[in-house]
Structures are given as C-alpha cells and as structure tokens.
Structure 1
C-alpha cells in the first residue's frame, strides 16, 4: 500500500496526517510518499519501522497539487495508491476495510469511505449515498464523501489506464473530481459505510480564489462532454460557476451563468444563490461558512 501526501507550508498538520497513515492496523507494508510543493523537503521527525516506510521528495512537475500528486505517484511501489491531504487524517481501520471491500467487488478499481467533516468546532458524519459509485452517479452528483483523502486506487489501473492527475486544471482545483470521473469510466468505486477519514475544513488554499475556481469548473465541463447527457449534473456545476463569479464581484458573469443554470434545471439552488448575491442580499463567505458547518460545500 502506497500513500501520497502533497504538502505546502503546513508541517504540523502534515506530521499528524503521516502518523495516522503509518499507524493503520494493516498487516501489509505501508509506504508514505510526502511531496513538498514549492518548498524543500523537511525532516518530519517520524521514524520508519518494520513494514512502515517514509519517503520525502519535492514536486518535480507543474507547481500545485496535481503536479505534486503526480510526483508522488511516480515513486510509489504498492499494489494500491491512496491519497491524503496534509490537513486531513485517516481513522483506524480505513485501509483494511477498503481492501476487503474491493476484494468483494470484481468490477471495482478503487474504493472510498465515509467522512467525518470538522469545521469551526462542528463535526458532521457523511456516508456515501451510493454503496457503489458509478460514472453516472458522478456526473449527476460530486459525491463529496468520495473526498480525495478517502480514495484508494489499484496502482496498475491508475498508472496504465487512467493516467496522471490533470496538471492543466487551473490552480489544480477539482483535480480530484476529474480523476474520479476518469476512474469511474473504467470500473466501479464501492464505499465503506463508515466514516474512516477526518476532513478538516478551514485551511484550504482555495479560499477566496473565486475567479480561478470558475476557470477550473469551466475547464472541467469542456473536458467531460458527457455532462451534456446529465442536465441536473451540468446545471449543478454551472450553478457553482455562477456562485463563484458572484463571490468575486463579477455580477454580470454571475447573472449569465445563473440564467443558464436555471434554464437547464430550475430546481438548482446555486443559481438562485448567485442571483441573491448579485443583489447584495446574500454574502458569499457567510454562506460558505454556513454550509461547511453542516458538512457541505458549494
């Protein structure tokens, strides 16, 4: 089992994530590859032990999360590759439960699990609404429970068939969603019905980078034309684009995207949020904090 953790300037949080990965009650070997993005590797003060290996390296690809993950994947040797964000942590039993689940699903190429979302002193448990996630599910719904910190993937599938994390996505935003879509085109993704990963919201590098987010989401829609066959799913992303244009103060663009959203799906609430923000009756940061406290994102 190989674990890739990309990091940037969060050494204390990183040590917690690495320790949680190495402490998994898994009888096989676990190797953790820590990739320092836009900084030189540091000594984490964590010792290796039998069956547990730790390697640190620097991002040799495009600066950003996607390039860092690709740098780490290239150094992995395990049958499975897992990811964990440097501010998140695995809970005991995650890896054995996921590997056991994959063994019971012949079509599975990856596995996820539930999450415990922590934000502003609140904690919310979220389990996947689908026992087995398919490509069609992911077009319709991001399935946030399939957070990158929950995911393990067969290494041969990831390297030989899915290909690298997309380094062309603006700011590496939604690189995990793009990767999930490509994985799900090849096979299914069963999810353990238990919260085995703690997701800590509040320290994201994407906070306030609203224009970049709109560019990344537009790129994602262009890359995956299959969204045209799933109107509710496409309207969801268009509504997010409208919301973040409004958050950036680009109200004319927000209105255009909101109208497009609601024409495609009048039930899509993000379109109404964007219009409300344009009229100054809804505040973006307050809305995001409200959603995060309930274990949800925009």
Structure 2
C-alpha cells in the first residue's frame, strides 16, 4: 500500500487560526507517501505565513482569487498527482492512522470511494451525532437523496472516480458536497471505516452551513441536476422526484409563512416542470422573486 501516492486537497479561506491544526494532523500521518495541496482561496489574513512555517516539500501552496470552496477543491485536484485523493477542510483534523487504515480498507474491500467515522465538536464541546446522520455503507443512493451522508474531510476516492463524477459545481455556494455525492452514490458503493479517524469542528459563524442563505434552494438545484442528467433508471427517477417534491414542499411552506407567496409559486412551478420531464433553464432555481 505504500506505493499508493495520496493527494490531500486542503482548501482554505481566512483560516489562519485553525489551519495549523489541520496541517499538523497531516504531517503526523503514519502513512507517508503523500502530497498536500493547500489552496489559498484569496485569504486576507496571515494564512500564507502560517503555511510557510511548515518546512516540508510535501506541502504545496497554491494561491488564487476567491472562487469558493468548490473552485478551490477543483484547482487543487487539477494540480495533484496522486493515485488517490483525500479531502480535508482547513478547520478539521485527522487521527495519525487515518490514511493508512482507510487505504488498507479500500484495498481489502475493493472500494473506489471510502469515508471514515468522525468525532464532532460544536462550540468547542464534543457532541454526539444524531442518529439520522449515521453513515451507511455500500449502495445508498436513496438515502443520499434525503441528506448529505458523506463528509468531505472523511472521504478518499480514486482518481478514476474523480474523472467520472467531478468536478465540484462552482455555481453552488452551498450544498456542493450533497451535489457531488449524489452523483457518486448513483455510480459507486461507498466504503465506511467504522473507526472515528476524523475530527470535525463546527458551530462557528464563518462556516458555509451558517453564512450562506437559502441552502434549501441549493439542495433543490442538486436534485434537479441529477434528474436532468438522464442517468437514472425508472425507480431511481421516481425516488428522486419524490425527494425533490418533499424538499420543494418544505421550502414553499417556509416562503408562505414569511409572506413570500410569489417565491413559493415560482419554485413549485419549477418542480412541476421537472416532474413532467421538461427542461429547467440553468440557474433558474436561484432566481428568487
């Protein structure tokens, strides 16, 4: 397994206070055949100085104007050389045996995509994950329609997987991982290392899940995309339409409670078009009234 070269993709934006912990966890890996591409997505703090202090040729710093996390990940993967790609967010960290155990699990069970269990911290305190977020293993496209069940910092996949399902959608300011993993779960079974080898931190105001409004619209867009891909069989199509209807219903109910009847009507009409097999113009989901 030491022959597998791993490209670690670590996008960052103004995370100078946290990125050192992520980099320390990469450097501490017992598996040593890796490169770590840090994509500075237009940071205005001292992120560059923090990274420069790591005197290790395996760390490669890339700079770009701000494009968002999807653009940063795409940039990193395009510049990477690894047989296998591992994602790590700049405010998360790994246990030292993460790469070694995950690679061995993928090899043993023949998985092209694999994730690990994770430990959650919210506001500095360790919390238990709600049961609804329990990670499944194998084929679970139907379950993935309901919510994102793959965590980026836990995930590793082969380059052939990326070539088939990538890139991340740069037009999605939120739920870009939900969109990506829907495509993945349609084509691949996903392995699960049942050991918490990733530590995920949350509860801060700068995180996308908090600071990007209308995440429901991005989930709706992801479902519209998968339906319009024409890659679903009849049963998958039925399940995806049902999931889309549920998400549209939740969104429109929220609009009506806030007096946004026009917006509720607009999104419901979009759903009806998709349900009936009609093409929705690109970007139409985001055009709030």
TM class, shorter-chain normalised? 0.7 to 0.9
Partners of 2:255 and 2:264 within 8 A in 1: no
**Which residue is equivalent to 2:136?**
130
Distance in 1, Cα, partners of 2:187 & 2:208: 30
The 5-angstrom pairing of residues 130-279 of structure 1 reads 130-143=136-149, 146-158=150-162, 160-169=163-172, 171=173, 173-203=174-204, 204-211=207-214, 213-225=215-227, 228-230=237-239, 233-234=243-244, 237-238=247-248, 241=251, 250-252=258-260, 256=264
The alignment's TM-score, normalised by the length of structure 2, stands at 0.74
Q: Relative to structure 1, is the Cα distance of residues 174 and 254 closer, same or farther in structure 2, using a 3 angstrom cutoff?
A: farther
Q: Secondary structure of the equivalent of 2:29?
A: coil
Distance in 1, Cα, partners of 2:62 & 2:166: 21
**Which residue is equivalent to 1:78?**
82
Q: Relative to structure 1, is the Cα distance of residues 80 and 195 closer, same or farther in structure 2, using a 3 angstrom cutoff?
A: same
Partners of 1:36 and 1:57 within 8 A in 2: yes
Distance in 2, Cα, partners of 1:195 & 1:241: 34
Structure 1 unaligned residues grouped into runs of 5+: 261-298
Q: Secondary structure of the equivalent of 2:37?
A: strand
The more displaced of 28-37 and 180-189 is 180-189
- Give the CA deviation at 1:250: 4.1
Q: Relative to structure 1, is the Cα distance of residues 239 and 19 closer, same or farther in structure 2, using a 3 angstrom cutoff?
A: farther
- Give the CA deviation at 1:18: 1.5
Whether 1:17 and 2:27 are equivalent positions in the alignment is: no
Distance in 2, Cα, partners of 1:119 & 1:25: 28
- Give the CA deviation at 1:46: 1.1
Distance in 1, Cα, partners of 2:262 & 2:202: 26
Distance in 2, Cα, partners of 1:243 & 1:206: 21
Distance in 2, Cα, partners of 1:254 & 1:87: 39
Partners of 1:134 and 1:184 within 8 A in 2: yes
Whether 1:112 and 2:123 are equivalent positions in the alignment is: no
Distance in 2, Cα, partners of 1:234 & 1:8: 32
Q: Secondary structure of the equivalent of 2:195?
A: strand
Q: Relative to structure 1, is the Cα distance of residues 253 and 210 closer, same or farther in structure 2, using a 3 angstrom cutoff?
A: farther
- What is the aligned counterpart of 1:93 among 78, 97, 100? 97
Q: Relative to structure 1, is the Cα distance of residues 59 and 121 closer, same or farther in structure 2, using a 3 angstrom cutoff?
A: same
Structure 2 unaligned residues grouped into runs of 5+: 1-5, 269-289
- Give the CA deviation at 1:110: 0.7
- Give the CA deviation at 1:232: 6.1
Write the deviation string for residues 243-289 of structure 1: whole angstroms up to 9, x where unpaired: 8758xx844359949xx8xxxxxxxxxxxxxxxxxxxxxxxxxxxxx
Partners of 1:228 and 1:234 within 8 A in 2: no
Partners of 1:109 and 1:183 within 8 A in 2: no
RMSD of aligned Cα (Å): 2.9
Aligned length, in residue pairs: 245
Q: Secondary structure of the equivalent of 2:85?
A: strand
Q: Secondary structure of the equivalent of 1:81?
A: strand
- What is the aligned counterpart of 2:54 among 23, 46, 49? 46
The alignment's TM-score, normalised by the length of structure 1, stands at 0.72
Q: Secondary structure of the equivalent of 1:103?
A: helix
